[in-house]
A = this chain, B = another copy of it.
Amino acid sequence: MTPRRPERRSEESARAIVQAALELCREVGYAKLSIEGIANRAGVGKNTIYRWWPSKSAVLLDGLLSAVSVQGPFPDTGDVVADFKTQMIAASSILASPDTGPHYAALIGEAQQDPALGSALWDRLVGHLVAAATERIRSAQQQGQIRPELDPEFVVELLYGPTYYRWLIRRHLPDPDHIRMVVDTAFAGIAPSGPAVG
Contacts and interface: CB of A to CB of B under 8 A. Distances in A.
Interface of A: 29-31, 102, 105-106, 108-115, 118, 122, 126, 143-148, 150, 154-155, 157-158, 160-166, 168-171, 178, 181-182, 185-192, 196-198
Contacts of A150: 185, 190
A109 B59 CA distance: 18
A80 to B, nearest CB: 8
A144 B147 CA distance: 25
Main secondary structure of the interface of A (DSSP, over half): helix
A162 B157 contact: yes
B144 A190 contact: no
B109 A144 contact: no
Query: How many identical chains are in the complex?
Result: 2
Contacts of A169: 108, 122, 126, 164
A163 B161 CA distance: 7
A198 B145 contact: yes
B161 A166 contact: yes
A168 B31 contact: no
20 contacts: A29-B113, A105-B112, A106-B112, A108-B109, A111-B171, A126-B169, A143-B198, A144-B196, A146-B190, A147-B192, A154-B162, A154-B178, A158-B158, A161-B165, A164-B164, A164-B169, A185-B189, A186-B186, A186-B189, A188-B191
A171 B113 contact: no
A65 B162 CA distance: 25
Contacts of A165: 157, 160-161, 164-165
